[in-house]
A and B are shown apart, each in its own frame.
Chain A
Amino acid sequence: MASILAVDDSASMRQMVSFTLKGAGYQVREATDGVEALEIAKTETFDLVLTDVNMPNMNGIELVQNLRQQDNYKFTPMLMLTTESAGDMKMQGKAAGATGWIVKPFNPDQLLSTIKRVLG
């Protein structure tokens, strides 16, 4: 079953995302910020990376940038969780190499349908 790396500094969001995705049969690994995520990604390859934008130590944009530099993550779908409805953050994300975005607040069903769109 597909594996997902979920990155968010908010424990409640992580839990919600993790629970929802696991319930749908995905394998989920959690990280609390970009630095932790990058460490995990060095030794494990995931089918999808789901990351919040605003995090301490390394934000979501930097994380995507860094991940894209790794060979095994060149083409991996990476989705950003953003509350910005203005195009600015999305532009930044795209420029960094993100695949797409999910706008917060979202409910579990929206999360699942978006993930499904990417992973099938």
Chain B
Amino acid sequence: MAAQVIGRRSPQDAAAVAEHQRRAQRRGRIIGIGRHLVLALICFILVAPFYYVVLASLKDSTGIFQYPPKLIPFPPYFGNYERLLTDTAFPRWMLNTLFVATSVTVCKIFLDSMAGYALAKLDITGKRIVFMLLLLLLMVPFGALIIPLWTLVYTLGLLNTYWALILPALANPLGVFLMRQFILGLPRDLENAARLDGVSEFGIYWRIILPLIKPGLVVLAVIIFTDQFMSFVWPLISTSSDDVELVTVGVAALRSHGGVDYGLWSASAVMSMIPIGIVFFVLQRQFLARSLAGALKQ
């Protein structure tokens, strides 16, 4: 508000300007602190349940019901984890889940990038129709498919096998769109230059396209891997024996069949979060890239 004159200012003007700036800075700092406070509070609310469950998993049955509850588990009780790993099929479930998740991820990486490449750059009659179909069924609720899908898998004799868990997962079109976007973002004429240079059509995909969309492949892998870890409905209805069951189904079974055992339940909850937790911690940026990419696309 004080007059900004190029050149000399009177001492009163200078003081007024300085005071205004100080006040603005202070206001800015307060707002900044306020933001941090609110965010910290929200984060606390979001994360507190996890700590609580970890806590419960490290207590024995008396400790759990104790009031007031101990906030720091000392000494920690590992009995729940022991029981989880030896009395239940949890290790097997985890193995199954890792196997299925990895298989689906690896398959999808190639399937989706090839399909994305085709949609982005190749000549196909009915390309638009295919695209529309993929887009339309992208949001299909899984619950609407369980009957025919179950029948199909049953008829193929694949119930209760790894195939039942892997094959239907390959049908999700999300990856194709992601790959297509990434490939469209590559410099123009790359494939044309490669064609003139003597690269075969598959060579273009393998040597040129794939290496250049590596970041996109990582994002895709992360999305698919996590999705597989979280899937529940389908594994629930397509598998019934421990040697094929996934962690999600096994944990739910503990809840509904095993009688009340809070210690075991909390231990299972914690253990099932570890793999994804680790991957998330290591690959944070790629995880968040999914939401970011979705937003920027609009």
Are A and B genuine complex partners? no
Interface residues of B (CB under 8 A from A): none
